[in-house]
Amino acid sequence: MATVGYSKKVMEHFMNPHNVGVIENPDGYGKVGNPVCGDVMEIFIKVKEDIITDIKFRTFGCGSAIATSSMVTDLAKGKHIDEAVKITRGDVANELDGLPAQKMHCSNLAADALHEAIKDYKNKKQKK
Amino acid sequence: MTRIYLDHASSMPIDLRVYEFAKPFLTSSHGNPSTLHSVGLEARRAVEESRSKIAQLIHAENENTILFTSGATEANNLAVKGTALRNISQGKTVVASAIEHMSVLNPMKDLQKNGYTFTTLPVDASGIVDLKKLESILSKQTILTSIMYANNEIGTIEPIQEISTLVHETGLYLHVDAVAAAGRIPIDVQKDGIDLLTLSSNDLYGPPGAGALYVKPGVKLQSIMLGGGQERGLRSGTENVFAIAGMGEAARIAHHEMQQESTRLIPIRDRLIKEILTIDQSYLTGHPTHRLPHHASFRFSYIEGESILLNMDMYDIQVSTGSACSSKTLEPSHVLLAIGLKHEEAHGSMVLTLGRSTTMEDVPIVSKATNETVQRLRKLSPMSQEWRT
């Protein structure tokens, strides 16, 4: 049978998303998406010795946009940046027990936002 | 938590009186109306009786003006293509308002691919069609103009009589999609000057699977569904007698109870609008007064409609949205864009359509849930408070 609606896990993360908010003076910041398309995600990271010690997000978007943001922050938290940068859209979608086909781009955005934040952290580090 | 269903524009429960009335046409009086034995004749009588009840609802000249279809989408397709193909000798121009249903716009686009000229008519910020523009684009070649009686997404009621006068001064036929309006506000096809009018059974609390097209006597139409020649050759296919009989009974009940029901719903609608508009940066979409009695539609800045829908469902309140994310095309509602909303504004829409189950007691529950939903989603949203690196 074809999947109907969102998985239970997506709805859990949508209703009670983890790691919501802003980190003041983050070590890395990534923002992707476009309000015109209906999805904007931003991720803030705090990094200590290349380990993501804290991570927060804010998202404007649909149910899966919020759930994938929450999931990607869970997956990245406590990871070394070299590990976190390997997190893919597929990982995010799998951890959420799948996403409807037309919503896969949301998981893409979540992974992209994380990668942008890591890139920002690396750039800042180089400048130091 | 009791369910509060506020998505009557999407689908409606069948009225139990209608269900009881129509049930025998699935079980005992199940005949094919084209056959001459007694079981077939029972079905035929039900179809003809339904025709007559529907004619009364819209004050048609007689029952033979009513053609049954499988639903409103087919009726709209038949109205558009059936008139365009049949009247090609008079012209090849068709016109529709920018806020018509896709089952009007897409057949017109299809005609355009086949050499017809298709012009869309803009609407103002409240969704009323631009009459000056209509007057300027109409020509002798305009064989069909299609304007809905009222819009399903923003609730705006169009000035059909004025539109009819303009259309008939220059062009040929006026088609009116009355799916959202029928059974909610009085419709008089003769007084309103309508040539073709679309109705849906389910939107009258009838069974899904039936629709009707009113065709004024003398209007030239050709069939787009060919076969055994049912419905005077204009719509082949064995009649869905259960749905048709139910649609007629639903139309009869709507005709009797419409005024009473509107009088009951309008204060509930107005209270709901008033309560919800106390939310910061919330706006009514559609016309504030020329509005369907059961319709309340909004947009909220900084948040997205599918999230609103899912969050409201957690309160067991079912709503609708014109957001892109909830659509199959991932495009925001063409109606919301046509009334001049930006994409990011159109994403944050919520549509409430009330029905017979809605009561004044629902208002505080729905407004509280809406307020909590909007506040929660705004807290998650980077749009409400810009963060700068």
- Output the average pLDDT for chain B: 96
pLDDT on residue A37: 79
pLDDT on residue B332: 86
Say if A33 is an interface residue toward chain B (CB within 8 Å): no
pLDDT on residue A127: 83
What is the β-pairing status of strands B4-5 and B317-318?
A: parallel
CA A83 to chain centre: 14
pLDDT on residue A34: 85
Q: Is A41's CB within 8 Å of B383's CB?
A: no
pLDDT on residue B327: 65
Q: Of B311, B381, B387, which has the smallest distance from its Cβ to A59's Cβ?
A: B381
Per-residue pLDDT band at A103 (split at 50, 70, 90): confident
Residue B377 near residue B280, CB atoms below 8 Å:
no
Looking at chain B, which residue has its C-alpha nearest residue A15? B311
User: Is the pLDDT score of A1 beyond 60?
Assistant: no
pLDDT on residue B334: 94
- Output the average pLDDT for chain A: 92
Chain A residues in contact with B342 by the CB 8 A cut-off are: 36
d(CA B319, CA B12): 13
**Does the predicted TM-score (pTM) go above 0.90?**
yes
B347-370 pLDDT, tens digit per residue, is 999 999 999 999 999 999 999 999
pLDDT on residue A16: 97
Q: Of B302, B325, B343, which has the smallest distance from its Cβ to A62's Cβ?
A: B325
- Give the CA distances from residue A48 to residues A26, A121, B38, in Å, rounded to whole numbers and listed in that order: 11, 11, 86
Q: Is B381's CB within 8 Å of A42's CB?
A: no
Q: What percent of chain A has pLDDT over 90?
A: 79
Q: How far is A71 from chain B (nearest CA, A)?
A: 14
Looking at chain A, which residue has its C-alpha nearest residue B328? A102
pLDDT on residue A36: 81
Instruction: Answer left, alpha or beta for residue B205, where phi above 0 means left and psi between -120 and 50 means alpha.
Output: left
Q: Of A36, A61, A102, which has the smallest distance from its Cβ to B304's Cβ?
A: A61
The mean-pLDDT minimum among A3-12, A68-77, B14-23 falls in A3-12
B166-196 pLDDT, tens digit per residue, is 999 999 999 999 999 999 999 999 999 999 9
Looking at chain B, which residue has its C-alpha nearest residue A22? B387
Domains and CATH numbers, chain B: 4-11+257-388 (3.90.1150.10), 16-253 (3.40.640.10)
d(CA B348, CA B93): 36
Q: How far is A25 from chain B (nearest CA, A)?
A: 8
Nearest to B193 by CA among B212, B221, B172, B213: B172
Say if A60 is an interface residue toward chain B (CB within 8 Å): yes
Looking at chain A, which residue has its C-alpha nearest residue B305? A62
Residue B205 near residue B254, CB atoms below 8 Å:
yes
- ipTM of the complex in this document: 0.93
Q: How far is A76 from chain B (nearest CA, A)?
A: 19
B110-133 pLDDT, tens digit per residue, is 999 999 999 999 999 999 999 999
Q: Of A11, A22, A63, which has the smallest distance from its Cβ to B306's Cβ?
A: A63
pLDDT on residue A3: 67
Q: Of A20, A38, A39, which has the smallest distance from its Cβ to B380's Cβ?
A: A20
Looking at chain B, which residue has its C-alpha nearest residue A16? B376
Q: Is B382's CB within 8 Å of A41's CB?
A: yes
pLDDT on residue B325: 64
B274-283 pLDDT, tens digit per residue, is 999 999 999 9
d(CA B339, CA B286): 8
pLDDT on residue B216: 98
B331 or A43: which carries more pLDDT confidence? A43
pLDDT on residue B372: 98
Phi, psi of A82 (to 5 degrees): -70, -30
User: Is the pLDDT score of A2 beyond 80?
Assistant: no
d(CA A122, CA B176): 61
- Range 283-302 of B in CB contact (< 8 A) with A: 302
Say if B125 is an interface residue toward chain A (CB within 8 Å): no
Q: Of A11, A38, A42, which has the smallest distance from its Cβ to B323's Cβ?
A: A38
A18-74 pLDDT, tens digit per residue, is 999 999 999 999 999 988 878 899 999 999 999 999 999 999 999 999 999 999 999
Interface test with A, best of B301, B302, B304, B386 (most A CBs within 10 A): B304
| CA dihedral over A46, A48, A49, A55, signed as positive or negative | negative
Q: How far is A94 from chain B (nearest CA, A)?
A: 20
Q: Is B310's CB within 8 Å of A22's CB?
A: no
Looking at chain A, which residue has its C-alpha nearest residue B387? A22
User: Is the pLDDT score of A85 beyond 70?
Assistant: yes
B235-263 pLDDT, tens digit per residue, is 999 999 999 999 999 999 999 999 999 99
B302-329 pLDDT, tens digit per residue, is 999 999 999 999 999 999 998 766 666 6
The 10 Å CB-count burial string (b at 16+, else e) for A19-44 is bbeebeebbbbbbbbebebbbbbbbb
- Give the CA distances from residue B99 to residues A83, B33, B38, B318, in Å, rounded to whole numbers and listed in that order: 50, 37, 46, 24
Chain B residues in contact with A66 by the CB 8 A cut-off are: 307, 380
Active site residue B348: no
Q: How far is B319 from chain A (nearest CA, A)?
A: 15
Say if B388 is an interface residue toward chain A (CB within 8 Å): no
Residue B192 near residue B160, CB atoms below 8 Å:
yes
Nearest to B197 by CA among B209, B185, B211: B211
B100 or A105: which carries more pLDDT confidence? B100
- Range 328-387 of B in CB contact (< 8 A) with A: 328, 330, 332, 342-344, 347, 379-383, 387
Out of A66, A76, A84, A106, pick the active-site residue. A106
